[in-house]
Structure 1
Amino acid sequence: MQMIKTIDVPREFIFEKIIESGLYDIEKQTGKRPKVMNLKGFSYVKTFRKNQKGTIKFDEVAGPSVYAFTTSTQRNTFHTRWEFHKIDDRTTDVVITEEQLSNGFFQKLNDLLVNFVLGRFKKRQIIAMIDTIQKAYHG
């Protein structure tokens, strides 16, 4: 999946909001709050719904242009990358890519079906999150 959205927000602002969300999640799960400069290579275990667990590892954090992480569970591995491309001082292209690798034939089949059905919903959630950040910037 790849999404591109142009927003009327400086890339530094949106990068800070995305990083803050990640740091909040780390603190909620571990009780620790690492510094942004120490995020690359940092990993932690996250509990999802229904007691499912996964490991989140930060692959690249290069402010204010890249925020990339990998989420690994027993069933899947997700590679997620956010890129923030400066258009001008107030406008940013947000490029989000996510690659899903499934473990096993039946899991791949299941994921294809689920992604077909829920893919639009997931994209809407991401767009809503970006729109919320844009509204926060504009007051």
Structure 2
Amino acid sequence: MKIQQKLNIPANFFYRKVVDSVLYDIRTQTGNTISEDQLEGYSYLKQFTKTTSARITVTKLVPDRAYYYTTHSNQSNFEVKYDIEKLSDKEIKVTYEENVESKGGFLRQMNDVLVGSILGFVRRRNFKKMLLQIEASY
């Protein structure tokens, strides 16, 4: 899935929102307080439910430009990229991309394709709504 959205906010404002969210998630999941400088390459275990967890690794962090991470679980590998393009001092284009690689064979992959196509519209709409909420908070 790939989403592109123009927002009327500075690149550093959007970047700060993303990084602050990641640092908060790390603190709540691990109890560790780390700095932004320690984020790239940082890996931690995130508990989604009592029985579901995954390893999240920050793979790329470029101030005001990019945030990438991977999520590895026993069912899939999930790669996410946020690219921030500065259009002007107060306008950016955010490109969000995600790729999922399912583990567990053909049936699991087919299930993921089916569920992904059904839920894709809702997820896309909710993600755009979240971006617009970030813009409105500026």
Q: Does the TM-score normalized on the shorter chain lie above 0.5?
A: yes
**Where do 1:7-26 residues align within 5 Å?**
7-26=7-26
Equivalence for 2:101? 101
Name the aligned partner's letter for residue 27 of structure 2. E
Structure 1 Cα separation of the partners of residues 70 and 48 of structure 2: 15
Name the aligned partner's letter for residue 69 of structure 1. Y
Equivalence for 2:32? 32
Structure in which a larger fraction of residues adopt helix: 1
Root mean square deviation, CA, Å:
0.9
Cα distance, 1:59 vs. partner? 0.3
Structure 1 Cα separation of the partners of residues 121 and 68 of structure 2: 22
**Correspondence 1:134 to 2:126:** no
Identity of aligned residues (%): 30
Equivalence for 2:92? 92
Segments of 4+ in structure 1 off by > 2 A? none
For residues 1-32 of structure 1, the C-alpha deviation after alignment (integer angstroms, 9 at most, x for no partner) is 11100010001000000111111111110011
How many pairs were matched up? 137
Normalising by structure 1, what TM-score? 0.95
Cα distance, 1:50 vs. partner? 4.9
Gap regions ≥5 residues in structure 2: none
In 2 relative to 1, CA 125–47 (structure 1 residues): closer, same or farther, beyond 3 Å?
same
Cα distance, 1:49 vs. partner? 2.9
Name the aligned partner's letter for residue 70 of structure 1. T
Structure 2 Cα separation of the partners of residues 106 and 68 of structure 1: 28
Structure 2 Cα separation of the partners of residues 18 and 59 of structure 1: 14
Structure 2 Cα separation of the partners of residues 82 and 31 of structure 1: 25
